[in-house]
Structure 1
């Protein structure tokens, strides 16, 4: 009786095709960007993830990752939020890698029970790097005198306008080792026996193609979003793209509060150019 009456219901009530929410996490991973430089952070990812896991009848949540990495803190926070929501809702997570899931991007990908890649995706880069510039000789040639006054002998460590000190470099490397160990522990806990055969070579900072990543156990299989979801949940499966809120109020708020003041544009231009160069360098490491 119910079956015969279902055809008289509105389409949204009689459609029984499974719906899988899809969240796209893309970009360099930083705590903050700007109105013209969107970045991937917990603040930007959390609302999308909350909406995706709130789809009650969804058999799984799909997450697309395309990131060369960035902040280890933001990467782990996003990873942790995905795992917490998966546990709270009892929903499996399928991660699909596009061009690259490297460094912090790969850390986020590890939040999936399974990681699916294109054969030409770039994965791995399980390591820690710090970069900067030294301007010691430059300011000397320009006749600029550097003046730094601190309370605390180490307050000006790694100042780019002063010569590097061996003890400062060693301190930085010690911090890097601690962050690296946290990354390694996360990958081992996530991938388990799948990476045992590859051994410690996985943790040198090297990166590989998606095809090689399958052989190493870093990822699970080659595939694509639509094909994988159809294989798992049937040809009628529907993909629900989770988008950021873009209501009228949000757009007006962005115009009113999101754009920098005219007098701040010039002040932030130099910093913005340096940040853009750093972002470009992250992508360029992987030929992108």
Structure 2
């Protein structure tokens, strides 16, 4: 046996020629196509089947300025003559493309920029989260007989409330007819009681009013939103005093400085406008005069 036989073989990326990427990007119904040339190692990575792993290429495109965060991604298959759905950014590392799906060493990618709803969370068609939502729906349905329904996630209730209001406001059929239903009928179609949907809508509206970061907390339980709303509804009575730089209780001052929720990754993640000066004060290691607070 040769002395170097145990050495790790070279990866395909080390000997393969660079490829070009034809990127077709659609944002707000406007489509532009650009050619990104000479994509090579370390951005050109192959798996054990000598297929191109897509994640490093997408990350490379983002690093040079293309807005692909949360985008929906396909590649064009010349073999099948259609777009093949890959998923939403960030993609699993397991997503790969056979080399025979390139034409003249050019990989054709089709991407659609993420759409955000009124609460700031990303809405993408074909999102992997759709499967998770369906699983959660099934889990909730299966426990309907139990005393307490499984607590839902914030992203889930945003989607359900949005669909509920859309059904109520009217849905246009393929024939151009507008079909409207009552709030109660719409709730039945959604599969959640109108009472619960009314409550969720109220929490969402108060959360938006008080600067809740829906995108950051979409995977958290709705209890996080409830606690946040309850906290800042109780502090809202001090807004005028804060604006006039009048005396406020010490415990209120402390609550204004701390993160909006225990789940916040940083101090200013969730914050109503009236609390921002206090968080800025904290971040700059400053403090207001002691005699301002009881």
Higher relative contact order (CA 8 A, sep 6+): 1
Common fold by TM > 0.5: no
TM (norm. structure 1) is: 0.22
Larger radius of gyration: 2
Q: Considering fraction of residues, name the structure with more helix.
A: 1
TM (norm. structure 2) is: 0.21
